[in-house]
Amino acid sequence: MWPYALVAGLAALLARLPFLTSLPPTWDSVQYTLAVLRYDIELHQPHPPGYFLYVYAGKAIHALGLEPYASLVALSLVAGAVMAAVLVAWAGKLGGPRAALATGALTVLSPLAWHSATTGDTYAVSGMMAALVGWLGWRLLTSHPPGPLSARRRAGQERGSAEGSGGLESPAHAEGRGPARRPVLLQAALAGLALAVAGGMRPTDAAFLFPLWVYCVASRGTRALVVGMVALALGTAAWVVPMLRMTGGLGRYLEISHRLSAGVLGVSPWAEPGRAGQYLGALALAALAVLFVGWVLVPLARGTELTRARWFLILWLAPAGVFFVAVHLGPPGYLMVLAPPLLLLAGVGMGRALASLGWGRGLGLLVVVLALNGMFLKTTVIDGQQAQARHFREIQAACAPYAGPETVVLTTAGRTRVPRADLPFRAAMYLLPECDVFLYPLESTGPIGGMPNEGRGWRSYLRTGPVTVRARWVLVDATLVRYLPPGTQPRLVVSNPEGELWAVEVPRGEVRLESAGVEW
């Protein structure tokens, strides 16, 4: 099935290549971009827990000549293609060419997967590593040597070859190859290294995938589990040790991380019960963005080898899902760690539909699903990305007459919505690098704990107030207009869905920033 996988990976690359973003769209993506230039967790370049391998993969691409943000976008593009290839190869093993075709099409046109693969953020890499760890775990789980457990599994495969796969033989039975030939201990070591890499790319994903990994590796016996654990420990140490050295040691790392984690837990459903409903709603929207209409195909996968492995699916889906509802859920991209099992189920389900309906009607159903997914993709993801880039460039152009070393920009954390749009601190820092940009009101720890509150020239700083800055102009966002001294006459510079900025000329050439207001 790997020829199908290579075609799917190439299709993912070529289809998304014209739509890559050119400006970091989120607070976090700016921080990753700054980290490519200078890695410093204390300055949230990137924010804790560090994303060490992700940032250094971006640094390696940057060394080849790409700009920092473009390096991260290139990494996402390749990760999205690898995820598509792995899922197509896996679906082909489960349900033959029909399932491979459907899985490839659904993955390439998945709105969330497309968005993640065209932006410089960790989410496409998250999906890739979840697919790789899942695939390696599945190979361990389903390739037992002859014995009672293997006999039961083979019997189940034979029963399901007709009724569970829509009339298709199970691939292992059809090919006559039986269990995988790779040595068990090598498979366990590869799975351990894959989980270690997942941790270096996005540490929370490793925690989510760890129960699944243990379940699959332990199924091959104690020796395989020991080998897998050693590989996991060595692979993790390979990136944890240099990261801790760069941060100032374990104690310093834990101190910096605690600031952010305390802030995150402070807005979790445990602290604010009303957020549980918000997280459930956000989770539902993100899940919709994975498949859109393709969700109707998931129930068709019932009875296949994959759905009969209930504990495998539960351990693949439940840890992250529970965390997102009970503790923390950010942008929809968080759900990319859950996208591989969902896309795989939908693809296998569509493969069964193609087998039972025939190529004519089955392809008609697939075309309808893909057409509706494509419409959603165009109107929500592609158009949205292009509009955001247009608005960012409009902000840059409108502020150009004011931008300079004697211009102060006051911004917030960017939590309000249009028509009074705040330009987030990190976005302002990236778009207006010539200016002194402050997160205001100025606090020593920031609103979510330990984040920088000053930036200039793509460099971050932690500052305590009050601060006096030489200034000719002050640009303030919509929310902060009220902090201006009485009698000032701000003029509107730009207003669009990404930010509203007002300019005030400084009569005496300096500005004093305090938590209570602005003086000049």
Residues, the chain: 520
Distance of CA 280 to the CA centre of its chain: 18
How far is residue 118's CA from residue 70's CA, in Å, rounded to a whole number?
A: 10
Neighbours of 268 (CB within 10 A): 16
Residue 10 CB partners (closer than 8 Å, separation 6+): 81
Q: Is there a domain that residue 283 lies in?
A: no
How far is residue 299's CA from residue 378's CA, in Å, rounded to a whole number?
A: 26
How far is residue 296's CA from residue 75's CA, in Å, rounded to a whole number?
A: 31
* Structural domain that includes position 259: 2-264+288-315+332-384
- Considering the domain architecture, whether residues 379 and 407 belong to the same structural domain is answered as no
Q: Is there a domain that residue 273 lies in?
A: no
- Considering the domain architecture, whether residues 346 and 430 belong to the same structural domain is answered as no
- Considering the domain architecture, whether residues 98 and 142 belong to the same structural domain is answered as yes
- Considering the domain architecture, whether residues 91 and 117 belong to the same structural domain is answered as yes
Q: Is the pLDDT of residue 181 over 50?
A: no
Helix then strand then coil, % of the chain, to nearest 5: 65, 10, 25
What are the Cα distances from residue 217, in Å, to 136, 207, 313, 419? 9, 16, 15, 53
The pLDDT score that the predictor gives to residue 485 is 81
Contact 464, 513 (CB under 8 A): no
- Considering the domain architecture, whether residues 68 and 10 belong to the same structural domain is answered as yes
- Considering the domain architecture, whether residues 348 and 467 belong to the same structural domain is answered as no
Per-residue pLDDT of 55-91, as tens digits, reads 999 999 999 999 999 999 999 999 999 999 999 999 9
- Considering the domain architecture, whether residues 417 and 368 belong to the same structural domain is answered as no
- Considering the domain architecture, whether residues 409 and 374 belong to the same structural domain is answered as no
Contact 410, 438 (CB under 8 A): yes
* Confidence label for 146 from pLDDT (cuts 50, 70 and 90): very low
Q: How many domains does the chain have?
A: 2
Last residue of a domain, one of 349, 384, 419: 384
Beta-bridge partners for 499 = 496
Residue 273's φ and ψ, nearest 5 degrees, are -55, -30
Mean pLDDT of the chain: 88
Contact 24, 388 (CB under 8 A): no
* Confidence label for 273 from pLDDT (cuts 50, 70 and 90): confident
